[in-house]
Structure 1
């Protein structure tokens, strides 16, 4: 089953359907509708946050779900599925793939990435593991630990990774060039051209979030672009 899910992602678009508390589209019913719309548009998978959203999405959408659970811990900057507790909750909610922070930042309670992966393999052997990384070295380490997929999600979101407004297409190319583990391109992909370039650099699939599912941010982007023109008149 795992290999068939990964194969179904090949050369496809995965849509990240997430909204934070306080945002206009916050709510599991709205995220489920977003996922349904993405499926109708040709998406090959959904990325979703929280057990509640995952459950709601699985009820109306037939696509595989990459689940994550954002939680803050006082002793760690890692917040994407940081411990086995969050892993268990999203798997039990129906996610076929669990996405987790695979950066070198210290994890909560002094735990390790290798230890968390080992726990998942022991308790949920059918579940696929997606490593969210911010650098080439982290991607290589995740591959060596035996994850099923690697994503460039966190490039620019750790203090030591490349800080830029554009997607980190170079990182996509370097990791994909290893030809070891399928690499998903994610993070600040705003245009069709950027999406296409990720595939030219070897991306197995792309994950698009804000550019599709966060209308407030999309609106802000257009408003800023208008200001650049009108202020120059």
Structure 2
């Protein structure tokens, strides 16, 4: 399994997660996104959902981080929150299984999830929101520490990525993946300089709706300023 991490090291991991219910939210399209990302130089993929994972695994042997997002009444944790999720992802072909390790109530303990993932011979990516969670994940023998959840457990999501968390995680002697709001190449470079072994980029590559809105909002704002100055 260390070969998987070697493929990720200092590379780009593309999160192929279309907007839920959007026109691109189909397994065959997700598989096409994955192939396009790999053709562009991505070293691996992050894929949500069993159907999407099976579709992508059917067209590539590239390393895949798999996860399942579920909205539940008994927890705010959405990412791979049950043992059944773990089993399904392992059977669908994930090399790495991502779990939310934030300090919140959950249906299954973090330790149980980690042990189940390892029992399938898969690696664990711990999606953290702060350094303390990273430290606990390292104690639980998670193989990868990610900054994925930083900014997503509060009331307002920040604009900038959490480079300070990446730097803190890099001191824990684990493989570190920077994730969360890395929507420009220079930000990804900064993440590597802060200690990340790899960087996940999602919306800026595989969500045209978001990319379009960035341009549209910028142009509208500029036109509004021009009108005000006339």
Which TM-score tier does this pair reach, normalised by the shorter chain?
over 0.9
TM-score normalized with structure 2 length: 0.95
State the alpha-carbon separation in 2 of the partners of residues 15 and 21 from structure 1.
Answer: 17
Say which SS state the counterpart of residue 167 (structure 1) adopts: coil
After TM superposition, give the deviation of residue 163 of structure 1 in Å: 4.2
State the alpha-carbon separation in 1 of the partners of residues 58 and 115 from structure 2.
Answer: 30
**Greater mean deviation of Cα atoms: 19-28 or 209-218:** 19-28
Query: 1:139–1:150: 8 Å Cα contact kept in structure 2?
Result: yes
Say which SS state the counterpart of residue 60 (structure 1) adopts: coil
Trace 1:1-233 onto structure 2 (pairs within 5 A): 2-108=1-107, 111-121=108-118, 123-124=119-120, 126-159=121-154, 163-176=157-170, 178-233=171-226
After TM superposition, give the deviation of residue 90 of structure 1 in Å: 0.9
1:187-231 CA distances to partner (integer Å, 9 max, x unpaired)?
111111111100110110000000000000000011111122111
Unaligned runs of 5+ in 2: none
Query: 1:39–1:61: 8 Å Cα contact kept in structure 2?
Result: no
Residues 190/21 of structure 1: CA separation in 2 closer, same or farther (3 Å cut):
closer
Unaligned runs of 5+ in 1: none
TM-score normalized with structure 1 length: 0.94
Report runs of 4+ in structure 1 exceeding 4 Å deviation.
Answer: none
After TM superposition, give the deviation of residue 133 of structure 1 in Å: 0.7
Q: State the number of aligned residues.
A: 226
1:138-194 CA distances to partner (integer Å, 9 max, x unpaired)?
11110111000011111111128x841111111111111x14101100011111111
Query: 2:125–2:144: 8 Å Cα contact kept in structure 1?
Result: yes
After TM superposition, give the deviation of residue 72 of structure 1 in Å: 1.7
State the alpha-carbon separation in 1 of the partners of residues 186 and 220 from structure 2.
Answer: 23
After TM superposition, give the deviation of residue 20 of structure 1 in Å: 4.2
